[in-house]
Amino acid sequence: MIQKAKNLFEEYQTLSQEFNDKITNLYSDSAEIKFTVVQSGNQKIMSYSGKEFKELIIIAMPIAKDKNDLDIYSDINYAMEENNRVKITANRYSSLYKYNSPYTTIIGPNESGEWLIWEENFEMQR
């Protein structure tokens, strides 16, 4: 299970580095995506379904590519969860905005055995 999680997260990172919107195929439509936007000391929590987040990715990916807005992950840890899912924690570095923040995702198989992202939590600083 851990190896399948590592494989999916490596694919996630590769597609992200390539600004490839096929990254959307890695998300379950029913995934729970939450991120906190920190700007001028204020925090705003955003929450989306996987389906909604996929639509945002398709819009945002060309903008990120134009700005060369890369996320770099380090200190990656994998831990088994319930339902054959794996929790991944990491440090996420924004190359454009120059900050580190915690990153967490939960991935695992769907009913047909395809490995997908089910949850994702991160922070964005602007």
The pLDDT tens digits of the residues spanning 102-119 come to: 999 999 999 999 999 999
Give dist(CA 106, CA 5) in Å, integer.
Answer: 9
User: Considering its fold, how many domains does the chain have in total?
Assistant: 1
pLDDT of 60 > 90? The answer is: yes
Q: Binning pLDDT at 50, 70 and 90, where does residue 84 land?
A: very high
Q: Which domain holds residue 113?
A: 2-125
Residue 107: give its domain's CATH number.
3.10.450.50
